[in-house]
Amino acid sequence: MILGQKWMSYLGVSLDVRQRRIVWPETLPPTPWFAKEISIPIKDLFNRPRNPRHQEDIVQRDRNSVIREIVTLDLLQTKIQILQRPKALVQPSQVDHSQLRKVYRRLGLGKRIELLDCKDNLQKME
How do residues 9-63 score in pLDDT, each as one tens digit? Answer: 888 888 888 998 888 888 877 777 777 888 888 887 777 778 888 888 888 888 8
Among candidate residues 27, 32, 33, the one with its CA nearest the CA of residue 13: 27
How far separated are the first and last CA of the chain, in Å rounded? 61
Distances (CA, A) of 35 to 27, 40, 114, 125: 24, 16, 56, 72
- CB–CB of 15/8 below 8 Å? yes
Among candidate residues 56, 55, 3, the one with its CA nearest the CA of residue 31: 3
Is 72's pLDDT higher than 60? Answer: no
Give pLDDT, residue 109.
64
Is 100's pLDDT higher than 80? Answer: no
Sign of the CA dihedral with 57 first, then 59, 60, and 65 last: positive
- CB–CB of 14/21 below 8 Å? no
Separation CA 57–CA 59 (nearest Å): 5
What are the residue ranges spanned by the domains of the chain? 42-76, 96-125
